[in-house]
Structure 1
Amino acid sequence: MKDLTKNIQALNKCITLTIEKIVIEDTVKKKLAQIAKKSQIDGFRPGKAPLHIIEQRHGHSVRQDVINELMQRYLMDMMIKNQLYPSSSPVYIALESTNDTDVTFSVKFDVYPAIEIKGIENIKIEKPIITVTESDVDSMIQILRQQKAIWKETNAPVKTKDRVTLKFSGSKNNRALSNFKESNLVLIIGDGQMISVFEEGIIGHKTGEHFTNEVYFPKNYNNLELQGQTIKFNILVKKVETYTLPEINTGFIKKFGVKEGSLKKLRAEVRQNMQRELNNAVRHFIKSQVVTGLVQTNYIEIPDEIVNSKMALLRNQKNNNYYNTTKKKENASQVLSFEETKYSILVNLLFSQVIHNFNITANKERVRALIEEIASAYDDPREVITQYQANTELMKNIYNTDLEEQAVEAILRKAQIIEKCTTFEDFMYPPIQH
């Protein structure tokens, strides 16, 4: 393969490649031989027609298909060899050729900026050290009891952990706020569903009572519209419910799929699920730090035209996945942020470069382990494994996950690891910041 690369601009490439005549001829012969084995032509037994007849019927189209396939393969090989990452679809410009010559063609495409990974040894990563204890299992079983709690209406004043149904409207400076109106809001007092000042103002009231509650939302509140604002709520308590917890008996245990009703088996399954969720959370926590550190030490500016092109591609893909036009607009506005797209492009570029630098390739055993880990959360793991193995798109995602995980591990071997002991509850259920 001969190639000639020209830089039209820094991120625009025009590449001329040559496919040797002998490569084309050999590939065409193999394709025609495959067709001959399956062909049925009058006057000949199935698969026994002479090759020259097959060539007369299929030679031209097969040659065109072969050239198209080789053009794509040669381009891919050249990109890998020169570490070029395309940011646009290639435009092929085939030059004239005959059956007796090599085929020379040009390709125009845009590429992402070149990246040199550096500073990995300066990245600091906090690694949580956590053990799932018997006390943690006790707490989780208590949560399971709360999930199966029996609720009953009461006329008693609202207290912490009661479930209330509210009707309310909000106003600011005596002006009604249309966005702050609910007719049947159900919440459990003390669970942090609403800002604590709002929930505390409900305690002590009874079913049927009307009252007002002025709530100040701090400047660091997670809703930008409410930051630093004081909202007056007119509230009606429509219903108050208190709960009793079910006993941990055979009937209770069977509700969670433990057919024999064994508490020991339930605790074992709960521990297994907790450990799986913990492993995933720790993995995500560490990867998030790796991504942040990698971006901070290797930041490059992604040109706007690349970001806009990527956004247009994502928008088209998103629209093709939604049949409801209303949902199309809602989802497009939610996910197609310019800055988020730019950040995603940068992260993908950095990981691609890390994967290249460390010669990382997908590992079949690791891929199998990832699928088995996902499948273990389902009632029929074997069926899930079969579905993954039969689905090309799912397998592609798993292979990409494996490559990313290996890239993270490669970075962790060079980064500064700071171990921090903590508890399951503190790590998995940090306090909600309103």
Structure 2
Amino acid sequence: MEVKVEASSGLRREMRVVVPAERVSKAVDERLKRFASRAKLPGFRPGKAPFKVIQQQYGESARLDAISDIVNQTYPEAVNQAGVNPAGAPKIDITAEKSGEALEYVAHFEVYPEISLNPLSQLKIERPVVEVGEADVERLVQNLRKARRTLETKTGPAAKGDVATLDFLGTLEGEAFQGGEGKDVTIELGSSQFLPDLENGIVGHAAGEQFSVDVAFPEDYRAENLKGKTAQFAVTLKEVKEPVLPAIDEAFLKLHSVEEGAGEAGLRAKCRTALEKERDKGVRNQLKGQVLEQLLAANPVEIPQALIAQEIPRLREEAVSRMNMANVPKDKHAELLPDALFEQQAQKRVALGLLIGEVIKTQKVQLDTSRVDQALEEMAADYEQPEQVKAYYRSRPEMLQGLRAMVLEDQVVDTLISGVTPTDKTLSLDELLNPQRPAQG
């Protein structure tokens, strides 16, 4: 078999393959014999028709099937013979396939790029240093209480944190506008569910009052006719309820699985442990993010388009899952979430995958199975039935494989950090866990 590879452009390759006529003829004959063994032709018993009759009846079909088989068989042989590493499936063009002659075809594909990593010691890492303080514990305790709050009718003026029920009608220069009317709308004041001017304008008013509030729309508001405008809202405040937090009593402690007799101190200890666990996870995630971003920035890599095309559907399905689009027909996903939305993310993910693979190869990183077990233990500990969760993962190879990939990636990060001295950076717990949240003034 003759094999010749030519570079067309970048990572694209054209591999020309010539399969000897003898191999083609043999494959066609084998196909015809299969037809002969089960053929039912008029005047002949099943499987007893003369071979010449079989050739006349099924020759063309056998030849086409044989060519398909030969291409499927010889493509991996040719790749191995040529010593190339294709990225993605090839596009095959048959260029010669006459009966009795050699079969010729061209396989078009991309190859994986050759990667030479820059020195990994050049990474500059900031390690978050975060103390879990009493204020953090208190905030979590109060959040647990708020999650089980009750609402009681309030006769006095509304305050931030209260829940108001109201009707409103917005006008702009005396004219009502689309989307500016609401009936029996419920707002938690201070929660930023609505524009700040509207929520703030309700504070200080009591149920039964009717009043007007000027509401300024931001310059980047989604409705073009309201951008940067100030509208007047006529408000009828129907009801105000104030939240009442539950006492930290035995019933409340039991709901949060605090040991009997441990009291509020036991709840606070449990909250501290949970926050420290989140802190440790947040520190790992920040370190990992820094390392991978710098690995990517320090090692530009040419990316095969075939791999990007494979990654985009996976990203789309992840987005579908996050956006709760289970009821949307699958054939509509690409229309609602086109490829262009995921192009940049796919490029980054593929590039990182290639670089991580190179680190694994050059640094001889091997999966630590004990870390896989530890990761599964930590994940299962967040559920009420941890043993069932572990059994569920172990019974599903694809989920266990995902966990192994995550652990191996963490090992790569550890390898990259091992040659670097990080600089400590003090952060609050909120700054660590909510880096995108604006600083409170």
Same fold (TM over 0.5): yes
Structure-1 residue corresponding to 2:141: 141
Report the alpha carbon displacement of residue 393 of structure 1 after superposing the two structures with TM.
1.6
Distance 1:175-1:253 versus aligned 2 partners, 3 A rule = same
Assess if the C-alpha contact under 8 Å between 2:131 and 2:428 holds in 1.
yes
Q: Which moved more, 1:250-259 or 1:264-273?
A: 264-273
Distance 1:153-1:368 versus aligned 2 partners, 3 A rule = same
Structure 2: distance between partners of 1:388 and 1:124: 36
Q: How does 1:228-377 map to 2 (within 5 A)?
A: 229-232=228-231, 234=233, 235-258=235-258, 260=260, 262-263=262-263, 264-299=265-300, 307=308, 310-311=311-312, 324-325=327-328, 329=332, 332=334, 335-336=337-338, 338=340, 340-359=342-361, 360-377=365-382
Assess if the C-alpha contact under 8 Å between 2:161 and 2:190 holds in 1.
yes
Distance 1:322-1:143 versus aligned 2 partners, 3 A rule = closer
Q: Which moved more, 1:375-384 or 1:224-233?
A: 224-233
Q: Which moved more, 1:155-164 or 1:269-278?
A: 269-278
Q: TM (normalized to structure 2)?
A: 0.67
Report the alpha carbon displacement of residue 115 of structure 1 after superposing the two structures with TM.
4.6
Assess if the C-alpha contact under 8 Å between 2:123 and 2:420 holds in 1.
yes
Report the alpha carbon displacement of residue 236 of structure 1 after superposing the two structures with TM.
3.6
Distance 1:364-1:299 versus aligned 2 partners, 3 A rule = same
Distance 1:349-1:17 versus aligned 2 partners, 3 A rule = farther
Q: Matched residue of 2:422: which SS?
A: strand
User: Deviation digits for residues 368-398 of structure 1, max 9, x if unmatched?
Assistant: 2211111110011111111111111211211
Opposite residue 355 of structure 1, the aligned amino acid is G
Structure 2: distance between partners of 1:17 and 1:246: 77
Structure 1: distance between partners of 2:139 and 2:317: 46
Paired residues in the alignment total 378
2:389 to 372, 384, 395: 384
Opposite residue 229 of structure 1, the aligned amino acid is G
Q: Which moved more, 1:175-184 or 1:124-133?
A: 175-184
Structure 1: distance between partners of 2:438 and 2:299: 31
Q: TM (normalized to structure 1)?
A: 0.68
Structure-2 residue corresponding to 1:28: none
Q: Matched residue of 1:89: which SS?
A: strand
When Rg is computed on C-alpha atoms for both structures, the one with the higher figure is: 2
Q: Matched residue of 1:201: which SS?
A: helix
Assess if the C-alpha contact under 8 Å between 1:162 and 1:241 holds in 2.
yes
Report the alpha carbon displacement of residue 276 of structure 1 after superposing the two structures with TM.
2.5
Opposite residue 383 of structure 2, the aligned amino acid is Y
Opposite residue 287 of structure 1, the aligned amino acid is K
Q: How does 1:399-418 map to 2 (within 5 A)?
A: 399-414=404-419, 417-418=422-423
Distance 1:272-1:105 versus aligned 2 partners, 3 A rule = farther
User: Deviation digits for residues 81-107 of structure 1, max 9, x if unmatched?
Assistant: 86x471x3246899xxxxxxxxx9986
How many percent of aligned residue pairs carry the same amino acid?
24
Q: Matched residue of 2:156: which SS?
A: coil
Structure-2 residue corresponding to 1:150: 150
Distance 1:423-1:310 versus aligned 2 partners, 3 A rule = closer
Assess if the C-alpha contact under 8 Å between 2:93 and 2:107 holds in 1.
yes
Assess if the C-alpha contact under 8 Å between 1:90 and 1:107 holds in 2.
yes
Structure 1: distance between partners of 2:336 and 2:110: 28
User: Deviation digits for residues 395-421 of structure 1, max 9, x if unmatched?
Assistant: 121122123222333333456733211
Q: Matched residue of 1:207: which SS?
A: coil
Task: List runs of 5+ in structure 1 lacking aligned partners.
Answer: 19-63, 95-103
Opposite residue 353 of structure 1, the aligned amino acid is L
Report the alpha carbon displacement of residue 205 of structure 1 after superposing the two structures with TM.
1.7
Structure 2: distance between partners of 1:240 and 1:147: 19
Task: List runs of 5+ in structure 2 lacking aligned partners.
Answer: 19-67, 95-103
Opposite residue 370 of structure 2, the aligned amino acid is E
Structure 2: distance between partners of 1:112 and 1:175: 62
